[in-house]
Structures are given as structure tokens and as C-alpha cells.
Amino acid sequence: MSGDSFLPLQEEFATLAIHEAQEPEQWSCMEVVTPLSTSTTFKQNGPADFKKYEYSRSGNPTREVLEKVIAKLEDGKHGFCFSSGLGANTTLLGLLKSGDHILCINDVYGGTNRLFTKVASRFGIETSFSEIEADSFEKNLRKNTKMIWIETPTNPTLQVCDIQRVADISKKNNVILVVDNTFLTPYFQKPLMLGADIVVHSITKYMNGHSDVVMGAVVCSNEELSKEIKFLQNAMGTVPSPFDCYQVLRSLKTLALRMKQHSESSLHIAKYLESHPKVEKVIHPGLSNHPQYELTKRQTSGHSGMLSFYIKGDIDSSKKFLQSLKIFTLAESLGGYESLAELPAVMTHSSVPADQRERLRITDNLIRLSVGLEDVGSLVADLEQALAAI
């Protein structure tokens, strides 16, 4: 996906993922692999006189390394890890107070939608939703808007939002801009470089990539915001375990290789599905017919393994197709080495109100694929036989 038409990839990305804050000289035994520190507490020389760490919720050696690596990969100054992606989102709500307003992109992960509308609302924080266009964000700002929240590409309809234009709007109105970069990772997109104030990730997905860790992360360069996020991380206690941090450090070392293959395979499959007679429409930002294809080229270095398509038929057709798959696994989540398929309307986005799903065209025949690392020929053959079963 990278090349003349997209932004150039960061040349030293893989090197940073392997070496940043992880050189053996910083450890007492010169370990090549970052040590796993499971201690919950740390000895003090005297009351309130400690070397660096006092309690693992407040700071942990293994977690600190991971936070430094993620911050570096995002070209940010400060990284923070959390117990889940939603744990990261929840912590960021702590930046707001009763009476504040969040302007959120309308096509957003169902869990984020539920958190804002069903939980944040209990504390007096309002949420309304904007269309993908930057002008829509400007039009829907309120006097009490304190945060703009966007995903790009969106989940599951893979719309692409102009980060730089929305950032200009947020700065002009003194509003915090949060960008969820889960789908592309810093390998393909750098929201902070485009003007975002905060980047959030579900590390569970591509950053870990092995479907064995649930984690979230936040990266920020603004010193005042970073101090507040650090305070909230400790005060709210939404931290991951040291072992999970150790696992993600392992995973990041292959992120560049994995993202290249996810990108190549997903585009191959998108082109295959485009020509299939039982497919109504394919959505992939790497296809030239995508509505925001030119924007995608301007602000990203490529695309991940995510694509969605509308199957010709109804919910029974969708169920038959999904139950006929043999290599793609019918399951929620995304970004792992294994290929997954799901029906967002009744799975990941079932908590989104029906009228909102209808407006977004999250219909009973919309299939979302997370293309993994299997041989692409095997994946195409699997889709072929499952489509034939309809």
C-alpha cells in the first residue's frame, strides 16, 4: 500500500519497535529481552524515599518500557497503557466534567458509543454525533463542547476523516481532539503529526496482533494534558498487568512485518470480492473507488487488514455465508494473525441504536473482515466456497 501514491513509511519504524528503551545496558544482568517485573510494591530507603517506583499501579518497570516504545512509534512524548481499549477511553472521560459535551464521529466502535451514551451520560457528560465531513464537526460544535472524538478509518464502514481539518477546527475552538488509531496503528498513520491532541488505541488489536492480550493505550505530547492523564491513570487504576505489557513488547517487534502482510492481503481480497456476482459493494480505503481515496493517500501510508462488504441477500444469507467459512473464524475483535469475519449489526455494533445503524448502513448484509496472515490464496478459496453456499 505504500509507495508513490501514499505517504512514505517511516524508515526506522521496525528498529524503534525493537530497540527503543530496550537496550541490554539498562538492565542489571544485560538482558536482551526486557525483564518482566511482577512485583506489586518496591522497597523504600526511608518513608517516602524510594528509588523510582513505589507501587505498581503508579508505575511499573515493564509497563514503563512499553509506554515509551508506543509513544516513540506515534511520534509522541508521553505514552500511557491501560487495562483495555475501553479502559483508556474511560480514563480520558476523566478529563471532562458534568455539563461538558463530546462531539463524536457517528460511525464509531459500538463499545465507545455505549460508553459515551449510556455511562458518561450518568455523570452529566453529553454526547452528540457528527457526520464524517470536517464541516459537519464545525457545524455541530456547542458552547460546552470540550472534546472531539474520531476514528479513522471508521468501524465498520471504513470512512476516512480529514484529521488535519478537524484538528484546525478543534484548535480554533479550544477543544481537545482525540483520534482512535486502532485500525491503522502508527505504522500507517500518525494523528499527532496531523494535529491531534491525543491518540488512543485498542492495543488488543493490531499492536498486539496475537489475540492473547486485552489492553489500551494513549499517547499525548501536550505536557499539561499528559500530566492529567498520568494522574487519572493512577487515580482510576485502569492499568494493565506487567505480564501483558511484556507480551505486547514482544508483539511490537513484528508489527511492521505484520502490517505489510495484512495490507497486501486485504487489498487482494477486496479486489477479488469486487468482481464477485454475490457481492453488492466492497469498502476498502485502498480501492480507488473509495469516497475518501484521495484523502487516504494524503494522510496515511497505507491500510491494514480491515475491509467490509455488502453481500447480496438478507440476514439469512449473511448467516449462511459466515457459518460456511472454514479458515476465517466467525468471531468479534480484529487485528490478530488469524482471519476473522463478523456481522456487525448483531455482534460488535448491536449496542448501537437501530436508527443509527440504519443511517450508517450497518445492515444485516454488511460483513466485516479482519484479514490475517494466512496464505492469501487459502483465504480467497475460503470466501469462494462460503459465497457459493448462499
| Given the residues 100, 109, 197, 357, the one annotated as active site | 109
* Among 100, 180, 197, 364, the one annotated catalytic: 180
Question: Bridge-partner residues for 279, per DSSP?
Answer: 311
Write down the residue that cell numbers 488505541 correspond to. Answer: 201
The DSSP secondary-structure symbol of 46 reads: B
Backbone angles phi, psi at 217, to 5 degrees: -150, 155
Cell 452528540, residue?
128
Per the CB < 8 A criterion, the answer to whether 340 and 370 are in contact is: yes
Decide if 205 is catalytic.
Answer: yes
Q: Using an 8 Å Cβ cutoff, are 107 and 135 in contact?
A: no
CA-closest candidate to residue 332, choices 244, 181, 213, 211: 211
Sheet arrangement for strand 78-82: 78-82, 216-220, 198-202, 176-180, 145-151, 101-105, 126-130
Known active-site residue 375 = no
Question: Which residue is it, cell 505484520?
Answer: 258
Q: What is each CA distance from 306 to 48, 261, 292, 372, in whole angstroms?
A: 49, 12, 16, 9
Gap between the Cα atoms of 246 and 279, Å rounded: 42
Q: Considering 63, 72, 190, 205, which one is annotated as catalytic? A: 205
At residue 49, what is the residue type?
A: D
Q: Give catalytic status of residue 244 as yes or no.
A: no
Determine the Cα–Cα distance for residues 152 and 199; give it in Å rounded to an integer: 11
Phi, psi of 281 (to 5 degrees): -160, 145
| Residue 350: Cβ within 10 Å count | 14
- The pairing of strands 145-151 and 176-180 is parallel
**Count of residues for the chain?**
390
The SS3 assignment for 373 reads coil
Q: Per the residue annotation, which of 53, 57, 168, 293 is the catalytic one?
A: 57
State whether residue 146 is helix, strand or coil. Answer: strand
Q: Which residues are designated catalytic?
A: 57, 109, 180, 205
